[in-house]
């Protein structure tokens, strides 16, 4: 069993959870937009101090690896790396969508498919499909949603859609097997079961060379010029 600090900054939610033996003993999070560079360090310090724990006492640091916000992922991963280097601890990388699907499936306990969706751009989402046991049915990809998206899977059985990208496609996926769960956000709490399993299996990543799973290249936007 292990004492693991879990970090998720893959979306607008900034979240830190401290877990002992796979159970959450402390969590701090907020959804204040991409303000992670300001909040994340404060949240980590608060959680460790409130539980009288020094980073050296951690067994590992786990981070949500993506996909998600390019900027958010960079902040989370760089912070996790810094903690690991400073305290000489191993790094665990938890797939963002798989963690979200695991959490919802564990709550519903239903034999269905689980499809987390994170908002990308316009009608595009980052998504994947998992079964009740968190096995991958459809690999993670960036998908532009149309009325025909996932038709074969929806024809076969019930699919639960959730995450901050699911609401914008609700009116498009009209199958009777499409079920939408509102207000399911990314959170470090969702990482805990998988990070504990990864730790027990010693599936650590190379702290020096690990990079987030961006899935898509970063697209810089140029601010519009003001017309005086």
In a domain, 71, yes or no: yes
What pLDDT does residue 181 have?
A: 98
In a domain, 228, yes or no: no
Domain around 40: 3-95+187-200
> What CATH number is attached to the domain comprising 109?
3.30.420.200
Q: Express as a percent the part of the chain with pLDDT over 90.
A: 90
In a domain, 12, yes or no: yes
The number of distinct structural domains making up the chain is: 2
pLDDT digits (tens, 9 = 90+) for 108-121: 999 999 999 999 98
- One domain for residues 32 and 68: yes
Cis peptide bond N-terminal to 67, omega within 30: yes
Pairing of strands 60-64, 124-130: unpaired
pTM of the predicted structure, to 2 decimals: 0.93
Instruction: Specify the higher pLDDT residue, 174 or 57.
Output: 57
């Amino acid at each position: 069993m292990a004492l693991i600090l879990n970090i998720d900054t893959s979306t607008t939610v900034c979240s830190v959870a401290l877990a002992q033996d796979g159970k959450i003993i402390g969590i701090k999070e907020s959804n204040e937009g991409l303000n992670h560079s300001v909040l994340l360090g404060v949240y980590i310090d608060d959680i460790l101090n409130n539980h009288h724990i020094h980073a050296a006492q951690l067994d590992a640091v786990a981070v949500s690896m993506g996909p998600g916000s390019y900027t958010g992922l960079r902040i989370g991963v760089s912070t996790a790396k810094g903690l690991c280097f400073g305290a000489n601890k191993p790094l665990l990388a938890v797939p963002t969508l798989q963690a979200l699907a695991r959490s919802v499936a564990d709550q519903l306990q239903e034999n269905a498919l689980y499809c987390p969706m994170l908002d990308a751009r316009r009608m595009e989402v980052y998504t994947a499909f998992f079964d009740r046991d968190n096995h991958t049915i459809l690999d993670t990809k960036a998908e532009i949603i149309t009325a025909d998206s996932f038709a074969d899977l929806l024809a076969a059985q019930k699919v639960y859609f959730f995450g901050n990208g699911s609401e914008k496609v609700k009116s498009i996926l009209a199958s009777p097997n499409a079920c939408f769960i509102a207000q399911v956000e990314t959170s470090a709490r969702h990482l805990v079961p998988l990070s504990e399993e990864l730790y027990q299996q010693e599936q650590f990543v190379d702290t020096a060379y690990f990079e987030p799973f961006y899935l898509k290249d970063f697209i810089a936007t140029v601010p519009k010029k003001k017309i005086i």
